[in-house]
Amino acid sequence: MEEELKILNKIIVEAILEGADPGGTYRNNTENLVKAMYTWIYFKNASKKYEVCETAEVPLTDGSYLPCPQFEKIFNKSEVIAEWHRIGNQHKERLTADSMLN
């Protein structure tokens, strides 16, 4: 599902860019785009795992950012805590390894 959402997010970005001109994107249908994205989430029975971030900023190849709705994973509190512990342990292991080299 993660890979599928990455592909869908890319399609959304490309569709918005396709509807743009040199002055930028029109962004005159965002509400319906977001509704369609949520319809897909509910169709996939994934509303407890994913949401639509309406204010995402997608980096483009020219260094600019495109404000564009994107699918995002919902992290619950225990997942966030586990990730912080994992990062902290990696940092601790790196510090220990560095001190052994010196």
Q: What pLDDT, on the 0 to 100 scale, is given for residue 96? A: 61
Burial of 16 (0-12, 13-18, 19+ CB in 10 A): buried
Q: What pLDDT, on the 0 to 100 scale, is given for residue 102? A: 53
pLDDT tens track for 37-52? 999 999 999 999 999 9
Helices (H), the chain: 2-18, 30-43, 77-101
46 contact partners, CB below 8 Å, separation of at least 6: 1
Residues 25 and 48: beta-carbon distance below 8 Å: no
Report pTM.
0.65
Query: In a structure prediction context, what are the per-residue pLDDT tens digits for the chain, which is 102 residues long?
Result: 889 989 998 988 888 887 777 777 777 788 888 999 999 999 999 999 999 998 888 888 888 888 888 999 988 777 777 777 778 777 666 656 555 555
